[in-house]
Amino acid sequence: MKRILTTLLVLVALTVTAQADEVPLLGNVYARQTTLLNGDWNYIVDVQEEGYYDYRMNVSRWGFFQNAKPQRPEDLIEYDFDKAPKMQIPSDWNTKDEKLFFYEGTVWFYRKFNVESSKLKDGKKLLYFGAVNYDCHVYVNTKHVAHHIGGFTPFNIDVTDQLKEGENVVIVKVDNKRHKDNVPTQIFDWWNYGGITRDVMLVSVAGNYIENYKWNLEKADAKAKKRTITLTANLNKAEAGQQIEVSIPELKLKQTLTTDAEGKVSSEFIVQSSKLTLWSPESPKLYDVEMTLNGETLKDQVGFRTIETRGKQILLNGNPVFLKGISIHEEKVNGGGRCNSINDAKTLLSMAQELGCNFVRLAHYPHNEYMVREAERRGIMVWSEIPVYWTISWTNEGTFNNAKRQLTDMILRDQNRANVIIWSIANETPHSNERDSFLGRLAEYARTLDNTRLISMAMEVTGQSNYVNRLQDNMNKYVDVVSFNQYIGWYRDVNDAPKMKWEIPYEKPVIISEFGGGAKYGYHGAKNQRWTEEFQENLYKENTAMIDKIDGLAGTTPWILKDFRSPRRVLNGIQDYYNMKGLFSDKGEKKKAFYVLKDWYLSK
């Protein structure tokens, strides 16, 4: 007994003090050697975090992560994951267990998985989570390996040293409680779906592996005979002299690059313009690209295009483009909770394409990779955003680092997606010096990570008198595209849209990142009767006519594709915890306003 106790004490000591083993994000994880850990996970709902804190609210050494089992009849262990109910992962607990529909708190997840000895011999094993909302602690074989916050971006953990041959156990404590210093903060107009919401994978990589890379097509004038494709890539180690073979077979481009002292490579590939098909909504051309290091080949499908602004125009491949968009929340149809699969992506994107969209605003947080890649295959451009939403704790450096981390991971995951054209750093944030400095730092930082895409944010109309709407925002100098939300006809000035004028004193393209109004599908009546399809239809008619007159209008993403769950929408019989501003109902039924927007986009 004394021996078991000492071993346990040593183990616990190790666990508590051990450093989190998160490593920089793996690029293109789905092309790696992976073992999917999706499926049934046991779960324990732990309202008072009994499994984490002792009754003095100190972090307990005997927490549920120990996965302890009674050794003797008199042993007292008051939890047993193997007897706990199961939940399909990835998912959100809110739609998987009706008792947890409104639940915000801690849930523990547990899963056993086998690792063959052959798999342990060489290389590294990274445990990859597509997303966990919101605050999670990860334990592998009782060792604490990571503490991650942020519910919408991936992270991966080096668990090589924790794994053993045969049965292994991963335990994840997930807490989705809202706090003012979080990102997003305490209040937001969407359902706070909790859980392990995206794929979980065990990824096998060599000891030395290609961590991430970035392809890009240099801008050039339209008549350029040759185009320059650039590539930068980095290994997980700062190791010089490593050879990476890079090829784009279809373009007969091949080079062998040698890493510098930082384990990085960068190079240019010159191609005849006539040989290169640029990615665009009309022809979403993707090229197979291959990178081989020590015999291990990483494949990807990459499109080449340029995106830039010129005055008040957005230019795709040097040509002005109008962004016929729609805003989308990452939510399944038919009340199904968080999207997490290719089929979910296909469902939502097909609805957007029925509208005639060539652009989607993935609001208000990075959506799953299936969504972004499926949109790329379908020629749909993407606005991707981090949840710096409403009134964030601007002066809290922890909050800033959290936002910065989410921005980093959003960019590192999707930097090779040709269809992603805009990084959005915020939505509807109140003006103040603290806010300006917070967002200004984020915008500048985003450009250091990626200066090939446009930066924007969803601003708000700042003043209106005598039907003249003004947009004054200090952030204009940090963004490439001036985007703002306006709800004329819904939250204000019903039926006044035809009289409205706009003052937007910036020589930049304008995107109306939100407009719209609610309607209950099937509820019909006079066009001035709130919640009827006729009211929403009329609002869209008036708004599209008004917006059409805005100088510099380069696109719009009306709010929103489909009705979506929100705890802020409590009007019984109409909202019933749904924001009803969809052009589709949650069941995918088209409301009358759908046809107004479809026709307008046909005219564009």
For ligand GCU, give the closer residue by CB, 250 or 460.
460
Residue 176: CB minimum distance to ligand GCU, A: 18
Strand order of the β-sheet with 210-217 is: 210-217, 226-235, 264-272
- 111 contacts: CB under 8 Å, gap ≥ 6: 37, 39, 40, 41, 42, 89, 169, 170
CB 591 within 8 A of CB 519: yes
Closest to 329 (Cα-Cα) out of 267, 371, 286: 371
For ligand GCU, give the closer residue by CB, 374 or 563.
563
For ligand GCU, give the closer residue by CB, 189 or 473.
189
User: What dihedral angle (degrees, nearest 10) is formed by the CA atoms of 531, 534, 537, 538?
Assistant: -100
Residue 481: CB minimum distance to ligand GCU, A: 17
Kindly identify the residues of this chain, within the stretch 17-46, that bind ligand GCU according to CB under 6 A: none
Q: Angle formed by the axes of helices 592-602 and 533-547, to 10°?
A: 20
Residue 579: CB minimum distance to ligand GCU, A: 5
581 counts as binding ligand GCU under rule CB under 6 A = yes
Closest to 304 (Cα-Cα) out of 356, 376, 234: 376
Residue 556: CB minimum distance to ligand GCU, A: 14
CB 207 within 8 A of CB 222: no
Give the whole-angstrom CA distance, residue 37 versus residue 202: 7
Kindly identify the residues of this chain, within the stretch 2-21, that bind ligand GCU according to CB under 6 A: none
For ligand GCU, give the closer residue by CB, 32 or 569.
569
Site string for ligand GCU, 384-413 (x = CB under 6 A): ------------------------------
CB 357 within 8 A of CB 380: yes
For ligand GCU, give the closer residue by CB, 523 or 578.
578
Residue 116: CB minimum distance to ligand GCU, A: 47
Strand order of the β-sheet with 86-89 is: 86-89, 39-45, 106-115, 166-175, 135-140, 143-149
197 counts as binding ligand GCU under rule CB under 6 A = no
- The alpha-helical segments, DSSP class H, found in 355-489 are 369-377, 397-414, 433-449
Residue 427: CB minimum distance to ligand GCU, A: 5
- In the chain, what is the straight-line distance between the N-terminal and C-terminal CA atoms, in Å? 78
Site string for ligand GCU, 411-440 (x = CB under 6 A): ----------------xx------------
For ligand GCU, give the closer residue by CB, 103 or 191.
191
559 counts as binding ligand GCU under rule CB under 6 A = yes
Give the whole-angstrom CA distance, residue 24 versus residue 405: 11
For ligand GCU, give the closer residue by CB, 251 or 597.
597
For ligand GCU, give the closer residue by CB, 151 or 303.
151
For ligand GCU, give the closer residue by CB, 264 or 361.
361
In eight-state DSSP terms, residue 478 is: T
Residue 435: CB minimum distance to ligand GCU, A: 16
In 10 A of CB 64, how many CB atoms?
25
For ligand GCU, give the closer residue by CB, 202 or 382.
382
DSSP bridge partners of 454: 422
Residue 543: CB minimum distance to ligand GCU, A: 14
Tokens, residue 51: 């499994």
Number of residues that bind ligand GCU (CB under 6 A): 9
CB 105 within 8 A of CB 47: yes
Residue 390: CB minimum distance to ligand GCU, A: 8
Using CB atoms, what's the residue nearest to ligand GCU? 189
Give the whole-angstrom CA distance, residue 549 versus residue 497: 11
For ligand GCU, give the closer residue by CB, 61 or 530.
530
Residue 313: CB minimum distance to ligand GCU, A: 26
Strands 166-175 and 135-140: antiparallel
Give the whole-angstrom CA distance, residue 406 versus residue 388: 10
Residue 202: CB minimum distance to ligand GCU, A: 36
Kindly identify the residues of this chain, within the stretch 342-381, that bind ligand GCU according to CB under 6 A: 364
- Cα dist from 217 to 63, 271, 280, 311, 378, whole Å: 51, 10, 13, 21, 20
Kindly identify the residues of this chain, within the stretch 177-196, that bind ligand GCU according to CB under 6 A: 189
Site string for ligand GCU, 311-340 (x = CB under 6 A): ------------------------------
For ligand GCU, give the closer residue by CB, 365 or 394.
365
Please give the residue ranges that form the binding site for ligand GCU (CB under 6 A).
189, 364, 427-428, 485, 514, 559, 579, 581
